[in-house]
Amino acid sequence: FIYMMTPSDKDLWRNIGAKIGLDQNVIDEYIGEVTSLVDESEDRLKEYGFKKIAIVSLQEKSAHMAVEHIKKRTGATVTVVSAHVAGNQTKEACAADVILFVWTKNKHSVFRAFDNVRDKVAYVAGTGATSIIRSLEKWTIKKNAAV
C-alpha cells in the first residue's frame, strides 16, 4: 500500500524507534519499506512559494515553536493568532496563503472568522508544534496534487 509519509512523519518514526531502543539501521529499513509520495530531494514547503502563513491556536508555546521551523523551511512570514474572539488578528490571518487551525485549542467564535476562506484552512489534529508542521506539509502535498 502507499502511505503519504512526510519528512516530519519520518522524523517522528525515527524518534519513536530510537526511544524504544531500535537500532538506527532497523528504523531506516522499515521507513524505507514505506513508499513515500514526497521526493525528499526537494522541500515541498520551500517550493510552494508561501508568502504568509497563520497559525491559529491558544497553545502559544507550541505555535511559536512551529513558527521558527516553518519560517526556516518556507521563508514566509508566519504569525500566531491567539485571540479568543474574531477581530484584527483573525482578519489579518484571512489574508494568509494558509491558515493552520489548531481546532482543539480554539474558540468557536474564532473558527467562524474563517467561514469565507475555508479552502485556505488546514485543520491541525494535535496541539504540538509537530502536529502543526505535519498539517502544513500534508496541506501542501494535497494542493500540489490538485494542480
What percent of the chain lies above the pLDDT cut of 90?
Answer: 56
Strand partners, 139: none
d(CA 43, CA 46): 5
Looking at residue 105, its pLDDT comes to: 83
pTM: 0.76
Q: Does residue 5 have a pLDDT over 50?
A: yes
Please indicate whether residue 6 or residue 63 has the higher confidence score (pLDDT).
63
Burial of 89 (0-12, 13-18, 19+ CB in 10 A): middle
Number of residues written out for the chain: 147
Out of 23-27, 64-68, 122-126, 128-132, least confident range: 23-27
- For residue 2, what pLDDT band results from cuts at 50, 70 and 90? very low
Reported as a single tens digit per residue, the pLDDT across 86-141 is 999 999 999 999 999 999 888 888 999 999 999 999 999 999 999 999 999 989 98
Asked whether residue 37 carries a pLDDT value surpassing 70, the answer given is: no
Query: Pick from 116, 133, 111: which is nearest to 124 by CA?
Result: 133
CA distance 35 to 14: 16
Cα torsion 27, 30, 35, 39 to 10°: value is: 20
C-alpha 138/C-alpha 130 separation (Å) is 12
Q: Which residue has the cell 526537494?
A: 42
Helix (H) or strand (E) holding 62: helix 60-74
